[in-house]
Chain A
């Protein structure tokens, strides 16, 4: 069997070599727009941004090379850097679990063969198609301290609602709720993941007399873990890049309590015009996102269950 595979591989290789000879340039012409775009709008800027980060680079005037001074300033001399990093971490710490849970709960509910699930899906996804500016406008008014609808609802059940956007203790939560509202995408991804779980597993569990909770714990969660992994990573990246809500809803306030890292980077570049310093901030964020993603991936072997892997193992054993 191994030999026949080898021959097949060789044959395939021969064909591809032949093709390359015949139309060497044609495929590259087709992907040329992307190659050019990649150099001009992605790789070029990415590397250039690293270069800038070693300079004192004002918006007007000549840049001067200062080595690692921007990074030194960032880590040791700028308290706002750590503060903003902490604020973003706090936001991510609340946003990621809440977002995943809400999306998962909605998907589980919709996966119950309910009539009109299309309508519900549409309703839950609606906030995801409007612009971030509109979303901020809407929530700014929902959160209004005196006339807002949220505090009205809370008052009907006897709770005196806080000044959501004006109270440093509540502003982060306000941001989280508004963000979760606009995240219908995750629900759809979970739903697609749930639809892919083979029905036979549940049928077998039913025969064994398993209850809802154990079916969820031993079938749904493990089978869904790759989807959860994907959504966790996307949520983390999303949390770190959260900028428009902060700019529009609170402007970073009150007393800097929602001065997210992304806003800090933005302000350093376009408010204080410290291009070099801001580039250093941005690269640091890039590295954090990269390492968090890798970390989640690495840890995934402990909690993510891949069906294909399991079947391979079974066959081997």
Chain B
């Protein structure tokens, strides 16, 4: 019994040690963003600022057109998530509920596309979007979402495979066609899985850096992540403002994670992938 308790205690001590290690950078971020200029550059560092300068957030936000960046980010997040929800669920339904020639082969290809490094398609995509006149617009960040994403299709198909087929047999007898079955029966049933892919997609698009970096060049089109990355170059020494903006950008994903953590953690564990 004593030995067991000792083991448990050791486990807790190590877990707490790792937790502090994982939390320290966040803490460092938060405390720096509310420090006054005289306390930022101190060694040894001051953990808790003597006065809390919450006005740092407002000040930093107004240094750059962050309102505009926020608007652009929101446009991309909302429109691309709507696209993913409908297109991925439609495709997943097709793969899960029909038997057709080449189905398994095509599904293998869906899975295989997840392995292709982004760097290989980056240049042709740039040229393609350039040809369409989409460079420096938000379209390259939105339009592809309307064609489904391999990971989301995979996730939704897994979910659909778990639903018994009795429902659509009954609906078929009532004379509903395939699209009506998808729209009226399965779309509402898929709600938990659709929430999960929405969360993944919101996180992915909100955090995306390379897409905006390559496809946007006019500052007025920047998303928040890109805006923050350029902010570094312009305000090399203004650490407080940088940390304040970083805190603000981290808040929505973190809040969303806390609200949906059970779904996210279960989703990641069961599929082994992140959006």
A interface residues with partner B (beta carbon < 8 Å): 15-16, 19-20, 23-24, 26-31, 33-38, 40-42, 44-46, 48-49, 52, 106, 109-110, 112, 114, 120-134, 136-142, 146-147, 149, 152, 155, 181, 185, 188-189, 191-192, 230, 237, 240-241, 243-244, 247-248, 262, 265-266, 269-270, 275, 278-279, 282-283, 285-286, 289-290, 293
Do B254 and A139 have beta carbons less than 8 Å apart?
no
Smallest CB separation, B125 vs chain A (Å): 5
Q: What are 30 inter-chain pairs, A to B, with CB distance below 8 A?
A: A19-B99, A27-B103, A31-B106, A34-B110, A34-B147, A34-B153, A37-B146, A38-B113, A41-B144, A44-B124, A46-B121, A49-B120, A127-B26, A131-B206, A131-B207, A131-B225, A131-B249, A131-B250, A132-B225, A133-B228, A134-B250, A142-B28, A149-B28, A189-B269, A230-B272, A269-B122, A279-B124, A285-B119, A289-B117, A290-B115
Give Cα A29 to B203, complex, Å. Answer: 29
Q: Confirm or deny: B128 has a beta carbon within 8 angstroms of a beta carbon on chain A.
A: yes
The 4 closest A-B pairs by CB, nearest first: A37-B147, A30-B94, A131-B207, A27-B98
Smallest CB separation, A192 vs chain B (Å): 4
Smallest CB separation, B73 vs chain A (Å): 10
Which residues of B sit under 8 angstroms from A146, Cβ to Cβ? 41, 43
Do A142 and B119 have beta carbons less than 8 Å apart?
no
Give Cα A290 to B120, complex, Å. Answer: 12
Do A45 and B178 have beta carbons less than 8 Å apart?
no
Interface string of B223-238 (1 = CB under 8 A from A): 0011011001000000
Which residues of B sit under 8 angstroms from A37, Cβ to Cβ? 87, 144, 146-148
Give Cα A40 to B24, complex, Å. Answer: 44
Of A131, A230, A278, the most chain B CB neighbours within 10 A belong to A131
The chain B residue sitting closest to A130, CB to CB, is B250
- Could you say which of A16, A41, A114, A266 contacts B125, with CB atoms under 8 Å apart? A41
Interface size range of chain B in the complex: 35 or more
- Could you say which of A26, A34, A185, A188 contacts B148, with CB atoms under 8 Å apart? A34
Interface string of B11-27 (1 = CB under 8 A from A): 11011001100111110
Do B14 and A265 have beta carbons less than 8 Å apart?
no
Q: Confirm or deny: B246 has a beta carbon within 8 angstroms of a beta carbon on chain A.
A: yes
Which residues of A sit under 8 angstroms from B269, Cβ to Cβ? 188-189, 191-192
Q: Confirm or deny: B45 has a beta carbon within 8 angstroms of a beta carbon on chain A.
A: yes
Interface class of chain B by DSSP? helix
Do B98 and A26 have beta carbons less than 8 Å apart?
yes
Smallest CB separation, A169 vs chain B (Å): 22
Do B225 and A133 have beta carbons less than 8 Å apart?
yes
Do B15 and A188 have beta carbons less than 8 Å apart?
no
Give Cα A42 to B106, complex, Å. Answer: 14
Given contacts A46-B120, A124-B22, A282-B123, whether A20 and B45 have CB atoms under 8 Å apart is no
Which residues of B sit under 8 angstroms from A185, Cβ to Cβ? 268, 273-274
Which residues of B sit under 8 angstroms from A262, Cβ to Cβ? 119
Do A141 and B203 have beta carbons less than 8 Å apart?
no
Smallest CB separation, B219 vs chain A (Å): 16
Given contacts A185-B274, A286-B120, A289-B117, whether A20 and B101 have CB atoms under 8 Å apart is yes
Give Cα A98 to B265, complex, Å. Answer: 22
Which residues of B sit under 8 angstroms from A35, Cβ to Cβ? 106
Which residues of A sit under 8 angstroms from B93, Cβ to Cβ? 30
Smallest CB separation, B7 vs chain A (Å): 8
Smallest CB separation, A14 vs chain B (Å): 12
Do A129 and B101 have beta carbons less than 8 Å apart?
no
Which residues of B sit under 8 angstroms from A191, Cβ to Cβ? 269
Give Cα A33 to B110, complex, Å. Answer: 12
